[in-house]
Amino acid sequence: MGRPQAAWCTAWVLSLGLSVWAASDSAGVVLQSPQCELITMDQCQHALWTNTTFPNLMGHLDQETAGQQLRQYAPLISIKCSPDVLTFLCSMYAPVCTIMQVPPCRELCLSVKAGCEKIMNQFNYDWPDAFACHHFPPDGTEGQPCMNKPLLNQAQQPLYESSWAQLPNYGHSPQITARPAVGPGRGGALANFTCPVQLQMPREFEYRLHIGSDQVIADCGAPCYHNVTFFNRDQIQFAQSWIGSWSVVCLISCLVTLLTYIIDRGRFPYPERPIIYLALCYGCMAVIYLIGFGHGDSIACNPAVPNRTMNFLAEKTIKQGTLHDWRCTLSAMGLYFFFIAGSLWWVILTITWFLSAALKWGQEAIDVKSQFFHTVAWTIPSILTSAMLITKNVEGDVLSGVCFVGLWSPSSLLYFLLVPLMSCLILGSLFLVFGYFSLIRIRTIMKQDGTKTDKLERLMIRIGIFSILYTLPALTIIICYLYEHKHMSDWTQKWQETICRDPFFQDKWQTPCRFPDNRVPNTPDPKFNVFLIKYFSIAMIGIISGFWVWCGKTLTTWKSFFQRLSGHQNKNGNSAYV
Protein backbone atom coordinates (compact mmCIF):
# COMPACT_ATOMS: atom_id res chain seq x y z
CA MET A 1 0.00 0.00 0.00
CA GLY A 2 1.35 3.43 -1.00
CA ARG A 3 2.04 5.99 1.70
CA PRO A 4 -0.76 8.36 0.57
CA GLN A 5 -3.19 5.46 0.69
CA ALA A 6 -1.88 4.64 4.15
CA ALA A 7 -2.47 8.24 5.19
CA TRP A 8 -6.05 8.16 3.97
CA CYS A 9 -6.70 4.80 5.59
CA THR A 10 -5.38 6.24 8.82
CA ALA A 11 -7.81 9.15 8.54
CA TRP A 12 -10.69 6.79 7.71
CA VAL A 13 -9.92 4.51 10.64
CA LEU A 14 -9.64 7.58 12.86
CA SER A 15 -13.09 8.74 11.78
CA LEU A 16 -14.56 5.28 12.30
CA GLY A 17 -12.94 5.06 15.71
CA LEU A 18 -14.39 8.42 16.63
CA SER A 19 -17.88 7.20 15.77
CA VAL A 20 -17.56 4.16 18.01
CA TRP A 21 -15.87 6.15 20.76
CA ALA A 22 -18.56 8.83 20.81
CA ALA A 23 -21.30 6.20 20.85
CA SER A 24 -19.84 4.88 24.08
CA ASP A 25 -20.31 8.33 25.73
CA SER A 26 -16.63 8.87 26.41
CA ALA A 27 -15.46 12.25 27.66
CA GLY A 28 -14.72 14.85 25.02
CA VAL A 29 -16.03 17.87 23.22
CA VAL A 30 -18.70 16.15 21.17
CA LEU A 31 -20.50 17.64 18.19
CA GLN A 32 -23.97 16.18 18.34
CA SER A 33 -24.71 16.98 14.70
CA PRO A 34 -21.68 18.09 12.69
CA GLN A 35 -22.48 20.76 10.12
CA CYS A 36 -19.80 20.32 7.50
CA GLU A 37 -18.54 23.02 5.18
CA LEU A 38 -16.27 22.90 2.17
CA ILE A 39 -12.95 24.47 3.03
CA THR A 40 -12.74 27.89 1.38
CA MET A 41 -9.67 29.25 3.18
CA ASP A 42 -6.84 29.68 0.69
CA GLN A 43 -4.20 28.42 3.12
CA CYS A 44 -5.96 25.06 3.65
CA GLN A 45 -7.00 24.32 0.09
CA HIS A 46 -4.22 21.73 -0.08
CA ALA A 47 -4.91 20.01 3.23
CA LEU A 48 -5.54 16.27 3.39
CA TRP A 49 -9.29 16.90 3.76
CA THR A 50 -11.80 19.14 2.03
CA ASN A 51 -14.59 19.44 4.63
CA THR A 52 -14.40 21.26 7.94
CA THR A 53 -16.72 22.20 10.80
CA PHE A 54 -17.03 25.06 13.25
CA PRO A 55 -16.37 26.19 15.91
CA ASN A 56 -12.78 25.18 15.32
CA LEU A 57 -10.15 24.46 17.93
CA MET A 58 -9.28 28.16 18.15
CA GLY A 59 -12.86 29.10 19.02
CA HIS A 60 -13.69 30.70 15.65
CA LEU A 61 -17.25 30.32 14.45
CA ASP A 62 -16.77 30.81 10.71
CA GLN A 63 -14.16 30.40 7.99
CA GLU A 64 -13.88 34.10 7.30
CA THR A 65 -12.64 34.85 10.81
CA ALA A 66 -10.47 31.74 10.93
CA GLY A 67 -8.91 32.62 7.58
CA GLN A 68 -8.09 36.14 8.72
CA GLN A 69 -6.31 34.80 11.78
CA LEU A 70 -4.52 32.10 9.82
CA ARG A 71 -3.05 34.62 7.38
CA GLN A 72 -0.58 35.80 10.02
CA TYR A 73 1.17 32.42 9.63
CA ALA A 74 1.25 32.57 5.82
CA PRO A 75 5.03 33.28 5.77
CA LEU A 76 5.69 30.09 7.74
CA ILE A 77 3.61 28.12 5.26
CA SER A 78 5.33 29.77 2.30
CA ILE A 79 8.88 29.03 3.44
CA LYS A 80 7.85 25.56 4.69
CA CYS A 81 9.68 25.97 7.98
CA SER A 82 8.40 22.46 8.72
CA PRO A 83 7.00 19.82 6.38
CA ASP A 84 4.07 19.49 8.76
CA VAL A 85 3.24 23.17 9.30
CA LEU A 86 0.27 23.15 6.88
CA THR A 87 -1.30 20.06 8.42
CA PHE A 88 -0.79 21.39 11.93
CA LEU A 89 -2.26 24.84 11.28
CA CYS A 90 -5.18 23.54 9.24
CA SER A 91 -6.03 20.98 11.92
CA MET A 92 -6.36 23.94 14.28
CA TYR A 93 -8.14 26.46 12.06
CA ALA A 94 -10.08 24.15 9.68
CA PRO A 95 -10.35 20.79 11.49
CA VAL A 96 -11.59 17.74 9.65
CA CYS A 97 -15.36 17.35 9.93
CA THR A 98 -16.02 14.47 12.31
CA ILE A 99 -18.45 13.96 15.16
CA MET A 100 -16.00 15.49 17.62
CA GLN A 101 -13.11 17.90 17.61
CA VAL A 102 -9.78 16.20 16.99
CA PRO A 103 -6.70 18.13 18.12
CA PRO A 104 -3.28 17.62 16.55
CA CYS A 105 -1.07 15.05 18.21
CA ARG A 106 1.77 16.20 20.41
CA GLU A 107 4.30 14.70 18.00
CA LEU A 108 2.91 16.79 15.15
CA CYS A 109 3.12 19.93 17.28
CA LEU A 110 6.69 19.22 18.36
CA SER A 111 7.71 18.60 14.76
CA VAL A 112 6.33 21.96 13.66
CA LYS A 113 7.73 23.77 16.69
CA ALA A 114 11.21 22.36 16.06
CA GLY A 115 11.22 23.76 12.54
CA CYS A 116 9.39 27.05 12.98
CA GLU A 117 10.05 28.41 16.45
CA LYS A 118 13.59 29.59 15.69
CA ILE A 119 12.39 31.48 12.64
CA MET A 120 9.65 33.14 14.66
CA ASN A 121 12.14 34.12 17.36
CA GLN A 122 14.34 35.80 14.76
CA PHE A 123 11.48 38.23 14.15
CA ASN A 124 10.80 38.68 17.90
CA TYR A 125 7.76 36.42 17.92
CA ASP A 126 7.27 33.76 20.59
CA TRP A 127 5.69 30.38 20.05
CA PRO A 128 1.94 31.03 20.69
CA ASP A 129 0.47 29.83 23.96
CA ALA A 130 -2.44 28.34 22.05
CA PHE A 131 0.09 26.05 20.32
CA ALA A 132 1.76 24.84 23.53
CA CYS A 133 2.52 21.23 22.69
CA HIS A 134 1.87 19.88 26.17
CA HIS A 135 -1.81 20.71 25.61
CA PHE A 136 -2.11 18.04 22.92
CA PRO A 137 -2.44 14.28 23.55
CA PRO A 138 0.40 12.00 22.49
CA ASP A 139 -0.25 9.74 19.53
CA GLY A 140 -1.73 6.44 20.61
CA THR A 141 -3.21 7.71 23.87
CA GLU A 142 -6.19 5.53 24.68
CA GLY A 143 -9.47 7.40 24.41
CA GLN A 144 -7.81 10.53 22.99
CA PRO A 145 -7.68 10.46 19.17
CA CYS A 146 -5.60 13.12 17.49
CA MET A 147 -4.29 14.23 14.09
CA ASN A 148 -0.78 12.90 13.43
CA LYS A 149 1.85 13.73 10.84
CA PRO A 150 0.70 13.09 7.25
CA LEU A 151 2.32 10.32 5.25
CA LEU A 152 3.53 10.77 1.66
CA ASN A 153 4.14 8.15 -0.96
CA GLN A 154 7.45 7.62 -2.63
CA ALA A 155 6.56 10.15 -5.33
CA GLN A 156 5.88 12.73 -2.56
CA GLN A 157 2.34 13.23 -3.81
CA PRO A 158 -0.15 14.11 -1.06
CA LEU A 159 -3.69 12.84 -1.22
CA TYR A 160 -6.19 15.70 -1.39
CA GLU A 161 -9.44 14.02 -2.35
CA SER A 162 -12.10 13.69 0.32
CA SER A 163 -15.81 13.09 0.08
CA TRP A 164 -18.71 12.13 2.30
CA ALA A 165 -18.77 8.72 0.63
CA GLN A 166 -15.36 8.02 2.16
CA LEU A 167 -16.41 9.08 5.66
CA PRO A 168 -18.15 6.63 8.02
CA ASN A 169 -21.92 6.65 8.43
CA TYR A 170 -22.82 8.76 11.48
CA GLY A 171 -26.46 7.69 11.59
CA HIS A 172 -27.67 10.88 9.86
CA SER A 173 -27.09 12.77 6.63
CA PRO A 174 -24.50 15.48 7.11
CA GLN A 175 -25.28 18.73 5.38
CA ILE A 176 -22.98 21.45 4.18
CA THR A 177 -24.38 24.68 5.54
CA ALA A 178 -23.37 28.30 5.79
CA ARG A 179 -23.03 29.74 9.28
CA PRO A 180 -24.77 33.01 10.15
CA ALA A 181 -22.66 36.08 10.59
CA VAL A 182 -21.66 36.88 14.13
CA GLY A 183 -22.53 40.30 15.47
CA PRO A 184 -25.41 42.41 16.68
CA GLY A 185 -28.85 41.08 15.84
CA ARG A 186 -30.10 42.39 12.52
CA GLY A 187 -33.61 43.40 11.69
CA GLY A 188 -34.71 42.95 15.28
CA ALA A 189 -34.07 39.19 15.17
CA LEU A 190 -32.91 37.52 18.36
CA ALA A 191 -29.53 35.77 18.41
CA ASN A 192 -29.15 33.35 21.30
CA PHE A 193 -25.92 33.04 23.22
CA THR A 194 -23.44 30.65 21.64
CA CYS A 195 -21.07 29.00 24.09
CA PRO A 196 -17.46 29.70 23.08
CA VAL A 197 -15.10 26.75 22.88
CA GLN A 198 -13.16 28.25 25.78
CA LEU A 199 -16.17 27.84 28.10
CA GLN A 200 -17.47 24.49 26.89
CA MET A 201 -17.60 21.71 29.48
CA PRO A 202 -17.93 17.93 29.08
CA ARG A 203 -21.50 16.75 28.85
CA GLU A 204 -21.24 14.53 31.92
CA PHE A 205 -20.52 17.61 34.07
CA GLU A 206 -24.07 18.83 33.33
CA TYR A 207 -23.18 22.52 33.37
CA ARG A 208 -25.86 25.11 32.62
CA LEU A 209 -25.31 28.79 31.93
CA HIS A 210 -28.33 31.04 32.51
CA ILE A 211 -28.42 34.07 30.21
CA GLY A 212 -31.34 36.46 30.46
CA SER A 213 -34.74 35.17 31.48
CA ASP A 214 -35.14 32.49 28.82
CA GLN A 215 -31.72 31.18 27.77
CA VAL A 216 -30.21 28.11 29.43
CA ILE A 217 -27.08 26.99 27.60
CA ALA A 218 -26.16 23.38 28.30
CA ASP A 219 -22.56 22.23 28.81
CA CYS A 220 -21.32 25.80 29.22
CA GLY A 221 -19.67 27.49 32.19
CA ALA A 222 -19.34 31.11 33.25
CA PRO A 223 -15.83 32.59 33.02
CA CYS A 224 -13.97 32.92 36.29
CA TYR A 225 -11.69 35.91 36.02
CA HIS A 226 -11.98 39.63 36.54
CA ASN A 227 -13.45 42.11 34.05
CA VAL A 228 -15.42 39.36 32.29
CA THR A 229 -18.48 38.87 34.45
CA PHE A 230 -19.76 41.50 36.89
CA PHE A 231 -16.77 42.66 38.93
CA ASN A 232 -13.23 43.82 38.24
CA ARG A 233 -10.01 42.68 39.87
CA ASP A 234 -9.97 45.38 42.57
CA GLN A 235 -13.55 44.66 43.56
CA ILE A 236 -12.95 40.93 43.84
CA GLN A 237 -9.81 41.40 45.91
CA PHE A 238 -11.53 43.91 48.19
CA ALA A 239 -14.53 41.62 48.64
CA GLN A 240 -12.28 38.72 49.61
CA SER A 241 -10.51 40.86 52.21
CA TRP A 242 -13.84 42.26 53.42
CA ILE A 243 -15.39 38.83 53.88
CA GLY A 244 -12.25 37.43 55.47
CA SER A 245 -11.95 40.30 57.97
CA TRP A 246 -15.55 40.15 59.13
CA SER A 247 -15.37 36.36 59.30
CA VAL A 248 -12.51 36.68 61.80
CA VAL A 249 -14.58 39.03 63.99
CA CYS A 250 -17.59 36.73 63.68
CA LEU A 251 -15.56 33.67 64.62
CA ILE A 252 -14.07 35.38 67.69
CA SER A 253 -17.50 36.46 68.93
CA CYS A 254 -18.96 33.00 68.39
CA LEU A 255 -16.01 31.34 70.12
CA VAL A 256 -16.40 33.59 73.16
CA THR A 257 -20.07 32.62 73.38
CA LEU A 258 -19.38 28.91 72.96
CA LEU A 259 -16.48 28.85 75.41
CA THR A 260 -18.50 30.78 77.98
CA TYR A 261 -21.20 28.14 77.67
CA ILE A 262 -18.66 25.33 78.06
CA ILE A 263 -17.16 26.68 81.28
CA ASP A 264 -20.53 27.64 82.79
CA ARG A 265 -23.38 25.61 81.31
CA GLY A 266 -25.74 26.58 84.07
CA ARG A 267 -25.91 30.14 82.72
CA PHE A 268 -27.70 29.12 79.53
CA PRO A 269 -30.84 27.12 80.31
CA TYR A 270 -33.89 27.28 78.08
CA PRO A 271 -35.23 29.62 76.78
CA GLU A 272 -31.73 31.09 76.20
CA ARG A 273 -30.03 27.85 75.09
CA PRO A 274 -30.77 28.29 71.31
CA ILE A 275 -28.39 31.29 71.31
CA ILE A 276 -25.54 28.82 71.80
CA TYR A 277 -26.52 26.82 68.73
CA LEU A 278 -27.01 30.02 66.78
CA ALA A 279 -23.41 30.96 67.62
CA LEU A 280 -22.27 27.46 66.66
CA CYS A 281 -23.87 27.72 63.20
CA TYR A 282 -22.42 31.12 62.34
CA GLY A 283 -19.05 30.20 63.79
CA CYS A 284 -18.90 27.25 61.39
CA MET A 285 -19.90 29.53 58.51
CA ALA A 286 -17.09 31.92 59.44
CA VAL A 287 -14.60 29.05 59.34
CA ILE A 288 -15.75 28.07 55.84
CA TYR A 289 -15.44 31.65 54.59
CA LEU A 290 -11.94 31.85 56.05
CA ILE A 291 -11.00 28.65 54.23
CA GLY A 292 -12.21 30.24 50.99
CA PHE A 293 -10.23 33.39 51.77
CA GLY A 294 -7.08 31.31 52.19
CA HIS A 295 -7.53 29.41 48.91
CA GLY A 296 -8.18 32.29 46.52
CA ASP A 297 -10.40 31.06 43.70
CA SER A 298 -9.18 27.45 43.62
CA ILE A 299 -12.33 26.20 45.40
CA ALA A 300 -14.87 28.26 43.46
CA CYS A 301 -13.34 27.97 39.98
CA ASN A 302 -12.24 25.25 37.58
CA PRO A 303 -8.72 25.52 36.21
CA ALA A 304 -8.25 24.93 32.51
CA VAL A 305 -8.17 21.13 32.28
CA PRO A 306 -7.29 20.30 28.66
CA ASN A 307 -6.25 16.73 29.30
CA ARG A 308 -9.58 15.97 30.92
CA THR A 309 -11.90 17.81 28.56
CA MET A 310 -9.88 17.52 25.35
CA ASN A 311 -10.46 21.27 25.03
CA PHE A 312 -6.97 22.72 25.15
CA LEU A 313 -8.41 26.23 24.81
CA ALA A 314 -10.46 25.82 27.99
CA GLU A 315 -10.34 28.78 30.34
CA LYS A 316 -11.12 29.06 34.04
CA THR A 317 -14.82 28.63 34.67
CA ILE A 318 -17.01 28.93 37.75
CA LYS A 319 -17.75 25.54 39.24
CA GLN A 320 -21.20 24.02 39.14
CA GLY A 321 -22.77 20.80 40.32
CA THR A 322 -21.18 18.36 42.73
CA LEU A 323 -18.95 16.14 40.60
CA HIS A 324 -15.74 18.09 40.25
CA ASP A 325 -14.19 19.11 43.55
CA TRP A 326 -14.97 17.79 47.01
CA ARG A 327 -13.86 21.13 48.47
CA CYS A 328 -16.50 23.01 46.50
CA THR A 329 -19.17 20.48 47.42
CA LEU A 330 -18.33 20.43 51.13
CA SER A 331 -18.11 24.22 51.37
CA ALA A 332 -21.54 24.59 49.74
CA MET A 333 -23.01 21.89 51.97
CA GLY A 334 -21.55 23.42 55.12
CA LEU A 335 -22.52 27.00 54.35
CA TYR A 336 -26.06 26.17 53.31
CA PHE A 337 -26.68 23.69 56.14
CA PHE A 338 -25.51 26.02 58.90
CA PHE A 339 -27.17 29.05 57.28
CA ILE A 340 -30.60 27.40 57.33
CA ALA A 341 -29.95 25.78 60.73
CA GLY A 342 -29.03 29.17 62.20
CA SER A 343 -32.29 30.65 60.93
CA LEU A 344 -34.24 27.78 62.46
CA TRP A 345 -32.51 28.18 65.82
CA TRP A 346 -33.61 31.81 65.74
CA VAL A 347 -37.20 30.63 65.29
CA ILE A 348 -36.78 28.13 68.13
CA LEU A 349 -35.36 30.90 70.34
CA THR A 350 -38.45 33.04 69.77
CA ILE A 351 -40.70 30.03 70.39
CA THR A 352 -39.05 29.30 73.73
CA TRP A 353 -39.33 32.96 74.71
CA PHE A 354 -43.01 32.83 73.77
CA LEU A 355 -43.59 29.64 75.77
CA SER A 356 -41.86 31.15 78.78
CA ALA A 357 -43.46 34.61 78.65
CA ALA A 358 -46.93 34.03 77.22
CA LEU A 359 -47.74 30.48 78.30
CA LYS A 360 -45.81 30.56 81.59
CA TRP A 361 -43.78 27.45 80.79
CA GLY A 362 -40.96 26.80 83.22
CA GLN A 363 -37.39 25.91 82.36
CA GLU A 364 -37.96 22.19 82.97
CA ALA A 365 -41.06 22.08 80.76
CA ILE A 366 -39.22 23.71 77.87
CA ASP A 367 -36.18 21.51 78.40
CA VAL A 368 -38.37 18.42 77.89
CA LYS A 369 -39.03 19.63 74.33
CA SER A 370 -35.32 20.11 73.57
CA GLN A 371 -35.08 16.84 71.64
CA PHE A 372 -37.89 18.00 69.38
CA PHE A 373 -36.14 21.33 68.86
CA HIS A 374 -32.91 19.59 67.84
CA THR A 375 -34.77 17.28 65.46
CA VAL A 376 -36.38 20.20 63.66
CA ALA A 377 -33.28 22.43 63.65
CA TRP A 378 -30.97 19.79 62.15
CA THR A 379 -33.35 17.68 60.03
CA ILE A 380 -34.86 20.42 57.87
CA PRO A 381 -31.43 21.80 56.82
CA SER A 382 -30.30 18.25 56.08
CA ILE A 383 -33.28 17.70 53.77
CA LEU A 384 -32.77 21.01 51.98
CA THR A 385 -29.03 20.40 51.64
CA SER A 386 -29.73 16.97 50.15
CA ALA A 387 -32.16 18.56 47.70
CA MET A 388 -29.50 21.10 46.74
CA LEU A 389 -27.04 18.29 45.99
CA ILE A 390 -29.56 16.14 44.12
CA THR A 391 -30.58 19.03 41.88
CA LYS A 392 -26.91 20.04 41.51
CA ASN A 393 -27.53 23.64 42.44
CA VAL A 394 -23.98 24.20 43.67
CA GLU A 395 -22.12 27.16 42.18
CA GLY A 396 -18.80 28.86 42.80
CA ASP A 397 -18.70 32.32 44.35
CA VAL A 398 -15.82 34.43 43.04
CA LEU A 399 -16.25 37.00 45.82
CA SER A 400 -16.06 34.64 48.80
CA GLY A 401 -13.88 31.96 47.21
CA VAL A 402 -16.21 29.10 48.19
CA CYS A 403 -19.30 27.49 46.68
CA PHE A 404 -22.93 28.12 47.54
CA VAL A 405 -26.41 28.00 46.03
CA GLY A 406 -28.42 30.56 44.09
CA LEU A 407 -25.48 32.53 42.72
CA TRP A 408 -26.31 32.20 39.01
CA SER A 409 -29.79 30.68 38.95
CA PRO A 410 -32.73 32.92 39.97
CA SER A 411 -34.97 29.91 40.58
CA SER A 412 -32.42 28.31 42.93
CA LEU A 413 -32.06 31.61 44.76
CA LEU A 414 -35.82 31.80 45.21
CA TYR A 415 -36.54 28.27 46.42
CA PHE A 416 -33.37 27.44 48.35
CA LEU A 417 -32.74 30.81 50.01
CA LEU A 418 -35.50 33.38 49.82
CA VAL A 419 -38.40 31.09 50.72
CA PRO A 420 -36.69 29.45 53.76
CA LEU A 421 -35.15 32.68 55.07
CA MET A 422 -38.33 34.72 54.70
CA SER A 423 -40.38 31.97 56.32
CA CYS A 424 -38.04 31.80 59.31
CA LEU A 425 -37.90 35.57 59.74
CA ILE A 426 -41.68 36.00 59.56
CA LEU A 427 -42.41 33.07 61.87
CA GLY A 428 -39.78 34.12 64.39
CA SER A 429 -40.96 37.73 64.35
CA LEU A 430 -44.54 36.67 65.08
CA PHE A 431 -43.53 34.61 68.11
CA LEU A 432 -41.25 37.43 69.23
CA VAL A 433 -44.00 40.05 69.06
CA PHE A 434 -46.52 37.85 70.86
CA GLY A 435 -43.99 37.00 73.55
CA TYR A 436 -42.91 40.60 74.00
CA PHE A 437 -46.49 41.80 74.42
CA SER A 438 -46.95 39.09 77.03
CA LEU A 439 -43.93 40.40 78.94
CA ILE A 440 -45.39 43.91 78.80
CA ARG A 441 -48.68 42.59 80.16
CA ILE A 442 -46.86 40.72 82.97
CA ARG A 443 -44.91 43.86 83.84
CA THR A 444 -48.14 45.85 84.08
CA ILE A 445 -49.71 43.28 86.40
CA MET A 446 -46.60 43.15 88.59
CA LYS A 447 -46.56 46.93 88.94
CA GLN A 448 -50.22 46.96 89.90
CA ASP A 449 -49.44 44.40 92.60
CA GLY A 450 -46.53 46.48 93.84
CA THR A 451 -43.95 43.85 92.84
CA LYS A 452 -40.52 44.99 91.77
CA THR A 453 -40.02 44.74 88.00
CA ASP A 454 -36.34 45.69 87.70
CA LYS A 455 -35.19 42.20 86.75
CA LEU A 456 -38.03 41.73 84.26
CA GLU A 457 -37.36 45.11 82.68
CA ARG A 458 -33.68 44.30 82.22
CA LEU A 459 -34.69 41.02 80.57
CA MET A 460 -37.13 42.85 78.29
CA ILE A 461 -34.45 45.34 77.28
CA ARG A 462 -31.95 42.56 76.51
CA ILE A 463 -34.52 40.62 74.49
CA GLY A 464 -35.54 43.76 72.62
CA ILE A 465 -31.99 44.78 71.76
CA PHE A 466 -31.01 41.25 70.76
CA SER A 467 -34.11 40.90 68.57
CA ILE A 468 -33.43 44.17 66.78
CA LEU A 469 -29.77 43.31 66.30
CA TYR A 470 -30.76 39.98 64.73
CA THR A 471 -33.76 41.14 62.72
CA LEU A 472 -32.03 44.06 60.99
CA PRO A 473 -29.17 42.05 59.41
CA ALA A 474 -31.49 39.11 58.67
CA LEU A 475 -33.89 41.45 56.88
CA THR A 476 -30.96 43.09 55.08
CA ILE A 477 -29.80 39.70 53.79
CA ILE A 478 -33.26 38.99 52.39
CA ILE A 479 -33.40 42.42 50.72
CA CYS A 480 -30.01 41.80 49.12
CA TYR A 481 -31.17 38.42 47.83
CA LEU A 482 -34.36 39.99 46.47
CA TYR A 483 -32.20 42.54 44.68
CA GLU A 484 -30.11 39.77 43.12
CA HIS A 485 -33.19 37.74 42.18
CA LYS A 486 -34.85 40.69 40.49
CA HIS A 487 -31.85 41.77 38.42
CA MET A 488 -29.87 38.56 37.81
CA SER A 489 -31.47 37.88 34.42
CA ASP A 490 -30.91 41.48 33.32
CA TRP A 491 -27.27 41.36 34.41
CA THR A 492 -26.52 38.18 32.48
CA GLN A 493 -28.27 39.53 29.39
CA LYS A 494 -26.26 42.74 29.63
CA TRP A 495 -23.13 40.63 29.99
CA GLN A 496 -23.89 38.97 26.65
CA GLU A 497 -24.54 42.33 25.00
CA THR A 498 -21.28 43.70 26.41
CA ILE A 499 -18.90 40.93 25.40
CA CYS A 500 -20.43 40.56 21.94
CA ARG A 501 -19.48 44.19 21.24
CA ASP A 502 -16.08 44.12 22.90
CA PRO A 503 -13.38 43.94 20.17
CA PHE A 504 -11.29 41.55 22.25
CA PHE A 505 -14.09 39.05 22.79
CA GLN A 506 -15.45 39.51 19.28
CA ASP A 507 -12.21 38.02 18.05
CA LYS A 508 -11.70 35.55 20.90
CA TRP A 509 -15.17 34.20 21.65
CA GLN A 510 -17.27 35.41 18.72
CA THR A 511 -20.40 35.48 20.85
CA PRO A 512 -23.43 36.85 18.98
CA CYS A 513 -25.45 39.77 20.26
CA ARG A 514 -29.11 39.31 20.95
CA PHE A 515 -30.23 42.87 20.31
CA PRO A 516 -29.29 45.43 17.65
CA ASP A 517 -27.37 48.44 18.85
CA ASN A 518 -30.43 50.67 19.02
CA ARG A 519 -32.44 48.19 21.11
CA VAL A 520 -29.97 47.13 23.80
CA PRO A 521 -31.76 47.26 27.19
CA ASN A 522 -30.46 49.97 29.49
CA THR A 523 -29.60 47.80 32.48
CA PRO A 524 -27.62 49.27 35.39
CA ASP A 525 -24.55 47.41 36.59
CA PRO A 526 -24.75 45.33 39.77
CA LYS A 527 -24.20 47.48 42.84
CA PHE A 528 -21.04 46.14 44.40
CA ASN A 529 -21.91 47.68 47.78
CA VAL A 530 -25.04 45.54 47.98
CA PHE A 531 -22.93 42.39 47.86
CA LEU A 532 -20.60 43.75 50.52
CA ILE A 533 -23.56 44.57 52.76
CA LYS A 534 -24.92 41.06 52.29
CA TYR A 535 -21.73 39.38 53.49
CA PHE A 536 -21.37 41.91 56.31
CA SER A 537 -24.91 41.15 57.48
CA ILE A 538 -24.23 37.42 57.50
CA ALA A 539 -21.18 37.97 59.70
CA MET A 540 -23.08 40.45 61.88
CA ILE A 541 -25.63 37.81 62.92
CA GLY A 542 -22.79 35.69 64.24
CA ILE A 543 -21.26 38.70 65.96
CA ILE A 544 -24.47 39.69 67.75
CA SER A 545 -24.90 36.12 68.98
CA GLY A 546 -22.28 37.11 71.54
CA PHE A 547 -24.43 40.03 72.69
CA TRP A 548 -26.15 37.84 75.24
CA VAL A 549 -22.84 37.20 77.03
CA TRP A 550 -21.59 40.80 76.81
CA CYS A 551 -22.18 41.56 80.48
CA GLY A 552 -20.45 41.69 83.84
CA LYS A 553 -21.55 38.16 84.66
CA THR A 554 -19.41 36.85 81.79
CA LEU A 555 -16.34 38.61 83.19
CA THR A 556 -17.08 37.05 86.57
CA THR A 557 -17.44 33.63 84.93
CA TRP A 558 -14.09 33.88 83.17
CA LYS A 559 -12.40 35.29 86.27
CA SER A 560 -13.70 32.38 88.31
CA PHE A 561 -12.57 29.95 85.61
CA PHE A 562 -9.02 31.27 85.58
CA GLN A 563 -8.93 31.29 89.36
CA ARG A 564 -9.95 27.65 89.43
CA LEU A 565 -7.39 26.87 86.77
CA SER A 566 -4.69 28.77 88.65
CA GLY A 567 -5.67 27.17 91.92
CA HIS A 568 -5.43 23.74 90.33
CA GLN A 569 -1.96 24.53 89.05
CA ASN A 570 -0.86 25.87 92.47
CA LYS A 571 -2.15 22.74 94.10
CA ASN A 572 -0.05 20.65 91.78
CA GLY A 573 2.89 22.92 92.39
CA ASN A 574 2.58 22.67 96.19
CA SER A 575 2.29 18.89 96.07
CA ALA A 576 5.56 18.81 94.24
CA TYR A 577 7.32 20.21 97.30
CA VAL A 578 5.78 17.75 99.76
Over the stretch 507-550, which tens digit does the pLDDT of each residue have? 777 778 888 877 888 888 899 999 999 999 999 999 998 777 87
- Judged against a pLDDT cut of 90, whether residue 294 lies above it is answered with yes
Mean pLDDT of 279-291: 97
Mean pLDDT of 83-99: 88
What pLDDT digit, counting tens, does each position of 36-70 carry? 889 988 889 888 888 898 888 888 888 888 887 88
Per the rule left: phi > 0, alpha: psi between -120 and 50, beta: everything else, 207 is: beta
Mean pLDDT of 103-126: 87
- Judged against a pLDDT cut of 80, whether residue 135 lies above it is answered with yes
What residue ranges do the domains of the chain occupy? Answer: 36-153, 233-553
How sure is the predictor about 28, in pLDDT bands with cuts at 50, 70 and 90?
very low
Q: Is 351 helix (H, G, I), strand (E, B) or coil?
A: helix
Which is more confidently placed, 108 or 169? Answer: 108
Which CATH superfamily hosts domain 233-553?
Answer: Rhodopsin 7-helix transmembrane proteins (1.20.1070.10)
Which is more confidently placed, 309 or 6? Answer: 309
pLDDT in the model for residue 487: 94
Mean pLDDT of 452-458: 68
pLDDT in the model for residue 312: 55
Class of the domain covering 36-153 = mainly alpha
What is the rounded (10 degree) CA torsion for 311, 316, 322, 324?
60
Q: Which of 89, 83, 41, 31 is nearest to 62 (CA)?
A: 41
How sure is the predictor about 178, in pLDDT bands with cuts at 50, 70 and 90?
very low
What pLDDT digit, counting tens, does each position of 550-562 carry? 777 778 888 888 8
91, 218, 306 from 22: Cα distances, Å: 20, 18, 18
Range of weakest confidence among 56-65, 167-176, 251-260, 454-463: 167-176
Range of weakest confidence among 137-146, 358-367, 441-450: 441-450
Which is more confidently placed, 241 or 74? Answer: 241
Report how far residue 184's alpha carbon sits from residue 31's, in angstroms, rounded to the nearest whole number. 25
- Judged against a pLDDT cut of 70, whether residue 266 lies above it is answered with yes
Backbone angles phi, psi at 369, to 5 degrees: -85, 5
- Judged against a pLDDT cut of 90, whether residue 482 lies above it is answered with yes
**Residue % of the chain over a pLDDT of 90:** 34
Backbone angles phi, psi at 372, to 5 degrees: -65, -40
Mean pLDDT of 85-96: 90
Per the rule left: phi > 0, alpha: psi between -120 and 50, beta: everything else, 13 is: alpha
